[in-house]
Amino acid sequence: MKKLLVLLLFSFIIGCASTENIISDYDETVDFNKYSTFVICIDDLFVENTTFPKYDNNKIRSFISDAIELQMIAFGYKTNVLEPELQAGFKLIVEEKEATFKNCDIEDELHYWHECTINTEIYTTETLIIYVSDFKMNQIIWQASIECDMNKSGANLQAYIKELVIKLFKEYPRSKK
């Protein structure tokens, strides 16, 4: 019986392992090669999730913005604050969720449960969404999202964010120059 319980627990842990599901979409009618300039959306640098300072703060937003700028430049776009054709930005969604688990102690193999308790765990989920919009049309032409974990230490955080942004930009519908 204990072997079965251990096997079920192991399966549960593997099933809950972090996966990197990227969700991406773009406007198929847009010619991404016609654009040459961009600007980073300044509004996205302001912290929105003030109740979660470990997951959303000025440092994190600066790292995300810098990583997006590097990727846009890698795709051949030039920064132009005065007359940009594209605007690149991001949204960081932080949500608190609740999970309820039943924990039942078995009296012995031939009897029902001796005691069952219900444990509630509260956890935080984060999603990074990057978008590029046509500045004049004020319309998003590409976006991609991924679940993430921004609660990391300084040096690890910057490298982690850079890696996330690179993964998302692999879905961008234009080849790097």
Q: What is the pLDDT of residues 52-71, one digit of tens each?
A: 888 889 999 999 999 999 99
Report CA-CA distances (Å) from 125 to 93, 98, 122, 132, 147: 8, 10, 10, 24, 7
Residue 78: DSSP 8-state:
E
3-class SS at 31?
coil
Task: Please identify which residue in the block is written with the tokens 């594209």.
Answer: 86
Of the listed ranges 73-82, 104-113, 124-133, the one predicted with least confidence? 104-113
What confidence score (pLDDT) does residue 120 get?
76
Average pLDDT over residues 129-148: 95
Binned at pLDDT 50, 70 and 90, residue 99 comes out as confident
- State the pTM of this model: 0.77
Q: How far is CA 110 from CA 62, 106, 114, in A?
A: 60, 9, 11
